[in-house]
Structure 1
């Protein structure tokens, strides 16, 4: 009992530190190590008799080592490869070409109001190419925002659409989907995305687009005089250099997605994973750059950005996952996870209660901290065990929790994506949040309702 109380206290302190914008990775590692050593002091085993190093005081650090090994042999390597691929695609201008191709038809739409849901849905699809919400916002503010303003959308409407593009797109290339599929026991991430994620998130995205239309047009009418001044003052300066990239380069960023679906449909028994597919997709892009630039040395130099991108994936995502897993190991060593599992197994209505509880906690931490990844990766590892004890499908808890970590991010005034967009149009982040929270809450309610109906 004392161990569980200590675990809860540390968990609360951890949540507070993340909410106060302390580095999430360091906080989670520290919390995990403290709990593991408390477990050792209390006479608990943190590794098991077969896995122990033989020196109890060194076992907590061996836990971290084991987590790194585990991640690199599963989701970690996939995430590194996808980050490297995205970095190279951005450098050669292929990502810009995708945006150009997808957004060009928008300039031909004569009725500005019709642009609102269409821009939201197209922007959401772009998250498949650029998984980082902040990076996507930077690119869209430089490329799409001027198009939207020229088409007649108000400054705040255009900004709100861009700030909410990176949310819950169902893509097998998303790092959160890769991790969720691995933890939930799916051999192929496409199975998780196609059969579970897409049926929940696609209707939610549709609802959010429609709500965006009504909410933005309502606020535009209500704030007409304020917007007239803001529309004149909020000017975005274009600082992105032209790369003279051929338009057909737009095929390269989406090639991994096409190949993943192709192998999933026609060669389901083939053991071809995301790493192999991504590396294969990289080759034609490199060859095309070699032919276009006619400079082998420069092309090889540019290819280093792929490995630099892998480093970003390691520091931004993989280390965060390992840190969260270390904290989970500490919670398990102190017995808190077993205590929760035993308690929920005694309640008949544990299904809805667990789903709402974990969704609410994830959403709250995300809103306060502005970062959804830390909350999601912290809890996903413990979901299967707790769900099994409660007698429910772990997806019913994990999937809504995953969606909350993305939806609440763009409602937070301290989220990087909100700060970037609001700073670009020179308004207070709270002004932008007023534009984003209603459509996003519509998505939250839709996800919870559909998850409950599908998995009850």
Structure 2
């Protein structure tokens, strides 16, 4: 049965890489493994359980709802425009700064594609007009789109927090120094690459590329700070800082949404619809894949694959270390999303982290960070395709430039976190 399970897992990830619907593939694979293992109901029970998971569903849905409201009200655009205008005046750190700006925006706007659209349409033209080669300009923005690993709304962080019996901000705080250090190192490596390739200056933009300029956009600075208000509330109210009263992620998102309604005064009917459309998409796109992955990991457990995998990792701590980092990383590179691999790893292996010398938070966080970095090297990632289109370049050119920074960043986090 273990050999059959291994074959099914391989077929599952091949199907995901080939572009088949991830949720369907994970669910069907999980049910088949449960059937072979003699407990078909285990997969469906795990699937259903995630849709009523009090630790995951409210967090993910309210973050998406808030993000949709910020997009509808234009607050996201105001925020990114302010950052872009400041950065364009600091030409000596343009590429380095662009990576980190995108990284931090991606924390507030945890969707990689959404962040790519918000930042890319403003920052890429600014970089090109400053003389940066379009390929490098696009790569700089793309390299920052793994900042979501530090977002309280990213699906993995609430999942890991629940497994560890703690709050989301404690999970994020446990790896924030390592991730921020890796982000800085990755940005430095890309900057050096740009200098070596002579892509950091001297490019003359064409009329088409310059046409994306947003110089005429009128900034409202009050609106610009609204997208980060919930994040500030969560950070200052966290156990590590404690400057303000503690609030949960859903509460922070609801407060941020209410402040947005009061300050911006949009069409309340339409803005409310956008909020609940975001919560619905959160349930569909994120909770749905978590539920399907839970079915898949239940199948791995039932067929005996999980126990065999854990036994192998018990014999070598280094196997667990590299599997957690580069398993999801490689799937992310090939498929453009490492979510399925990271969810499967966290569901099957992470709860047993202590058996091979790690804690749940560290091992689970490494898996999702590896997945995020792998996606940031993938030419088929949705954010890569979108950014490449904005810069009018081939997505593969982005991957060529982000490959070394993402690999080094993964190693940095792996050796400092685990």
User: Same fold per TM (> 0.5)?
Assistant: yes
Tell me, what secondary structure is at the counterpart of 1:74?
Answer: coil
Match of 1:360 among 317, 322, 326: 326
Partner Cα distance (1:207, 1:238) in 2: 30
Partners of 1:284 and 1:377 lie apart in 2 by 34
Call closer, same or farther: CA 1:325–1:269 in 2, change over 3 Å. farther
Tell me which structure has the larger Cα radius of gyration.
Answer: 1
Give the Cα separation in 2 of the matches to 1:172 and 1:268: 20
Residue 233 of structure 2 is aligned to residue 259 of structure 1: yes
Q: Identify which of 253, 256, 275 aligns with 1:281.
A: 256
Aligned to 1:404: 370
CA distance in 2, matches of 1:69, 1:180: 13
Q: 1:141 aligns with which of 120, 138, 145?
A: 120
Give the C-alpha shift of residue 235 in structure 1: 1.9
Q: What do the CA deviations read for 1:208-250 (whole angstroms, capped 9, x no partner)?
A: 11111101111226998xx66xx4386265499x996732112
C-alpha distance in 1 between matches for 2:120 and 2:213? 11
Residues 355, 396 of structure 1: 8 Å contact kept: no
Which residue number in structure 2 is paired with residue 79 of structure 1? Answer: 60
What is the CA–CA distance in structure 1 between the aligned matches of 2:147 and 2:271, rounded to whole Å? 32
* Post-superposition offset of 1:268: 9.3
| Mapped partners of 1:33, 1:61: distance in 2 | 7
**SS of equivalent residue, structure 1 residue 371:** coil
The residue that corresponds to 1:193 in the other structure is 172
- What is the 5 A alignment of 1:215-230? 215-220=193-198
1:65 aligns with 2:43: no
Unmatched 5+ residue regions in structure 2? none
Kindly report which structure 2 residues correspond to 1:366-381, keeping only aligned pairs within 5 A, or say none: 366-381=332-347
Q: Say what the alpha-carbon RMSD is for the aligned residues.
A: 2.7
Q: How does 1:64-213 map to 2 (within 5 A)?
A: 64-70=47-53, 73-109=54-90, 112-168=91-147, 171-194=150-173, 196-213=174-191
Q: Which runs of 5+ in 1 are unaligned?
A: 41-45, 47-56
Q: C-alpha distance in 1, partners of 2:43/2:410?
A: 38
Query: How does the TM-score come out when normalised to structure 2?
Result: 0.91
Aligned length: 417
The corresponding residue for 2:301 is 332
Alignment of 1:302-313 (within 5 A): 302-313=271-282
**Residue 192 of structure 2: aligned partner:** 214
Deviation per residue, 1:279-329 (Å, 9 max, x gap):
122112112233xx6xxxx32222210000111111211101111111001
Distance in 1, Cα, partners of 2:244 & 2:79: 31
Closer/same/farther in 2, CA of residues 409 and 233 from structure 1, 3 Å limit: farther
1:401 is displaced (CA, Å) by 1.7
State whether structure 2 residue 319 is matched by structure 1 residue 319.
no
Does structure 1 retain, via aligned residues, the 8 Å contact 2:105–2:147?
no
Per-residue CA shift, 1:369-425, capped at 9, x if unaligned?
111222211211123343233243234432222111111112111111111122233
Moved more, 74-83 or 350-359: 350-359
Tell me which stretches of 4 or more aligned residues in structure 1 moved more than 4 Å. Answer: 57-60, 221-224, 242-245, 265-271
The alpha-carbon deviation at position 69 of structure 1 amounts to 2.1
1:185-225 residue CA offsets vs partner (Å, 9 max, x unmatched): 1421111111x21121011011111111101111226998x
